[in-house]
Structure 1
Amino acid sequence: MNVELLNPLAEAYAEQFSGTQDELLQEVAAYTYETHPHAHMLSGQVQGKLLTMISRMIRPLRILEIGTFTGYSALCLAKGLTADGLLYTIELREEDARKALNFFNKSAVKDRIKLQVGNALEIIPALNESWDLVFIDADKVNYINYYEIVLPQLNRGGFIVADNVLFHGQVLGKNVEGKNAKAIHAFNTHVKQDSRVEQVLLTVRDGLMLIMKK
């Protein structure tokens, strides 16, 4: 079951009345939509602006992004970094990482974005950092694993944002089917039952879970 979660007219209206993308973000979006077979994975204008707003409200010293893709969301999140802040982003696919790095190198914050290529579950412990903001947007079957590995390193009052928590509407039926939909439903349930955090599920794009560590 794939459900059209957002009326296309409402989506277009939201874009019309949301802040515009800067030139670099427009370039990333254009490249991705024109050339990438999985272009639907791009955060896009409205979600990207929301990520920027969240980051600017938090003013994080350290951001972790799990799943770089072509770099759009990292560039959005980096806009809220403190003057001495750093964003670490991890991408499994070397080709996507190379393209993202090209875009990062065009950014005014290129020296504050640290791109890592490989398995996030292996890379994260080696970073030896504590996080103010974490964005999870990688393989769905590992969402709980990513959550559990970063939560101890998340500062109290810090935030995790998890993408695709509605998974194309496939989690909405009584019988959730499909590996990824089942994994996302399990993740949502896991977070709901976790007394260490507070959370709200936002019906933006494909669903964002905003999670705060108590």
Structure 2
Amino acid sequence: MENIKIVDNMVLKNALTKLRDKNLKSSQVRKQIEIIAKILLIEALKNENPIYAEVETPLAKGSFEALEEDKYVIVPILRAGLPMLNGCLEVLPEAKAGFLAIKRDEETLKSTLFYERLPDLNGKTVIIVDPMVATGGSLEYAISVIKKHNPEKIISLNIVASPEGIRNISKFKDVLFYIGQIDKELNDKGYIIPGIGDAGDRAFNT
């Protein structure tokens, strides 16, 4: 699956190992998620077409390669995606942000959208950020919502996925997925094993 890339980066792996520790404080959970998000974003954008910015250095004027930051819209799936948004905005401070709140029913494992706030996505590159692809239901839902707004490109950044989640999102051939690691399996409650637990609860101490 050429559109699904597992990001092989030792700094990412180091941060993910720290993140897995159940005793990690919420402040450090957020910090490790931010670090991983930055690495995923850098990998996802490393071959983007540049624009050329006229810049005066301390010694001379020149035209230099840059990213057109305001063409990117970062969309976290609330709540767990918020620390990833913070990390991405450190890399692309002029990017826009949109928000989708999608909740998974713990009994049926089906996802429901209960909040949507998106800027104009027409012709934009949308970057969905969500730590986990468990069943893939929330991410599938987010992609279906975003596609209705006619973006030029959709990229998804995810920290940990299950094999089941990968199978479910693989149908989106026109979406680029950058994933930190594929874990062993889902348990009967739809949680990734060994995983990182509930990223939203852990990040916000709830």
Category of TM-score, reference length = shorter chain: 0.3 to 0.5
| Structure number with bigger Rg | 2
More helix by share: 1
TM-score by length of 2: 0.45
